[in-house]
Structure 1
Amino acid sequence: MTATATIDGPDAARAKSQAGEKSASLYRMAMPGHLCPFGLKSKSMLERRGYRVDDNLLTTRDEVDAFKTAHGVETTPITFIGGQQIGGYTELKKHFGYRVLGKDEKTYTPVIAIFGSTALMSLAIALNVHGGFSIQHFLMWFFATSMVALAIQKLQDVEGFVNGFLGYDLLARRYVPYGYAYPYLELYAGVGMIALIGRVSPLVWLVAPVGIFIGTIGAISVIKAVYIEKRDLKCACVGGGSNVPLGAISLSENLIMAGMGLWMLGLWFAA
């Protein structure tokens, strides 16, 4: 049930939420110029959990301000369940037992999303281009596409990336412009490796040394910062705004870049 809200006081709002065993009262902003996404997400969550939602829309700024004043809150939406004021969308998630990450809490979710996507993409490419699955072709496509995907993440906010990168990269600390060049070098190496997969070409000498260089410097920097100095840092590998912890993921990224370069040079010499 959706209706334009009357500004109920706290007691009235609690009473409405007690109307049934699985009922909830939701107050959310739905003004002509702004439909609150957290209100819609709260409504969807409640309905998925089997609640009948008394959906109260706050359609003007005056209604929003009056509701905040009446209930002593600073934001909307606000949900009431069983006569209890639950709070906003984050509080509602906690109420239902969903994990809510703190602002500075570290997570591997971004890298899982990237590597999971590039793994599926690499499998599809290997099957299409090479006519069947081989672990060598899959790994080469996976490593090269992952380098490109990680470079894209950095290039979205180069300044933010550099701010994090300067926290641990040994070469960037001595020569700051290297930090700005790094995402472009990673992109160059990744795209070059994609172009050379399955080929033995002298162009490998324009690509492989770049991957070996930036990968080796990066790996040494991570080992020093994390495993020798024991520093707790955020990894800039997926961009400056991420909360991915610096450690095994970043070390793997750098070792993969260096390893891909060495692998390609090895194929050149073997030919």
Structure 2
Amino acid sequence: MIHTYTVTGMTCNGCKTSVEDQLNMLPEVIKASINLEASEVAVEMTKHISIETLQSALSDKYSISIKNERNIFEPSLVIIEAEKSELKQLFPLFLIFGYITISSVLLNRTPWDINGFMLDFMGLFYIVFSFFKLLDLKGFPKSFRMYDPVAKVVPVYGWVYPFIEVVLGLMFLMRFEITIALIITLGILGITTIGVTKTLLNKKTIQCACLGTALKLPMTKATFIENSIMMIMAIIMLIITYN
């Protein structure tokens, strides 16, 4: 069952994450998801939890109350609506992936060159994604360090990361020092994927910084798949290079 409550006292993404973490610690809670703009939390639970129990799980800064008397006892309908909403939010990401794929295919269609396709795909991927990150260079590092392990410890890494992507993109497109570019790709995306995986396993709902802050995308399995595709391509290219 999923119940929706009103939560007051939240002012930023940090508050949002804090409330979600505190509620998710309750054994009866499957997942708590905050809508910061509406000051609401949707709590999926295995059995009914009293409002007093929910309030006791939160710090004194936050107050939780029943949004309305009618709770939702049809989780299948809620899940369908949530999936539709998530797909709608991720549409820009799928659209960009489609454009990158089509462009890479057209660049290598006659004659067909699978190696060239993967190099162009990775190059265009980095260039396009770095563009969106650079649109808000001040806001990107804040979002990025919420899940990237290195950015959490070394904040300057978040500022440098978009430029690393630009350089890697140019290296792939210009076929310059490809081996080095592939190794760096495995390194930086591997680290980020660890952070993404931890975020998903901890049931945290945060904004994904893959397209910067210009497009507000939720952290989902799509982010994990996106990084995995790039890493798999990098591994394949390294195997081909050394065989």
Normalised to the residue count of structure 1, the TM-score between the two structures is 0.53
Tell me the distance in 2 between the aligned counterparts of 1:183 and 1:259: 21
Q: How many residues align?
A: 160
RMSD: 2.6
- Report if aligned partners of 1:106, 1:244 keep a CA contact under 8 Å in 2: no
What's the offset of the Cα at 1:134?
Answer: 5.1
Question: What TM-score, normalized by structure 2, do the two folds share?
Answer: 0.58
Q: Distance in 2 between matches of 1:106 and 1:159?
A: 26
Query: Deviations for 1:120-150, whole angstroms, at most 9, x for unmatched residues?
Result: 21122112xxx23355543442233122211
Equivalent of residue 186 in structure 2, options 208, 212, 219: 212
SS at match of 2:210: coil
Match of 1:244 in 2: 217
Larger Rg: 1
Report if aligned partners of 2:141, 2:158 keep a CA contact under 8 Å in 1.
yes
Distance 2:182 2:147 in 1: 24
* Residue number in structure 2 paired with 1:54: none
Match of 1:112 among 91, 94, 101: 94
Q: Displacement of 1:213 after TM fit?
A: 1.0
The aligned counterpart of 1:171 is 150
How does 1:152-167 map onto structure 2 within 5 Å?
A: 152-167=131-146
Letter of the structure 2 residue corresponding to residue 113 of structure 1: L
Q: 2: CA distance between counterparts of 1:106 and 1:217?
A: 28
CA distance in 2, matches of 1:257, 1:180: 22
Q: Does 1:189 align with 2:162?
A: no
Q: State the Cα distance separating 1:257 from its structure 2 match.
A: 3.5
* 2:219 matches 1:224: no
2-side partners of 1:262 and 1:139: how far apart? 11
Q: Is the CA contact (8 Å cut-off) linking 2:118 and 2:233 kept in structure 1?
A: no
Q: Distance in 1 between matches of 2:202 and 2:139?
A: 24
Write out the 4+ residue segments of structure 1 that deviate beyond 3 Å after TM superposition: 132-140
Pair 1:122-2:104 in alignment: yes
Distance 1:213 1:234 in 2: 22
CA contact under 8 A between 1:154 and 1:237: conserved in structure 2? yes
Counterpart residue type for residue 214 of structure 1: I
| Contact residue 208 and residue 217 of structure 2 kept, 8 A | yes
Confirm or deny: 8 A CA contact 1:170 1:221 kept in the other structure.
yes
- Native 8 Å contact 1:193 1:207 kept in 2: yes
Q: Taking every aligned residue pair, what percent have the same amino acid on both sides?
A: 27
- Is the 1:185–1:210 contact (alpha carbons within 8 Å) kept by the matching residues of 2? no
Structure with more contact order per residue of length (Cα contacts < 8 Å, sep ≥ 6): 2
Q: Which amino acid aligns with 2:145?
A: L
Q: Which runs of 5+ in 2 are unaligned?
A: 1-84
1:220 partner amino acid:
I
Q: Which amino acid aligns with 2:96?
A: I
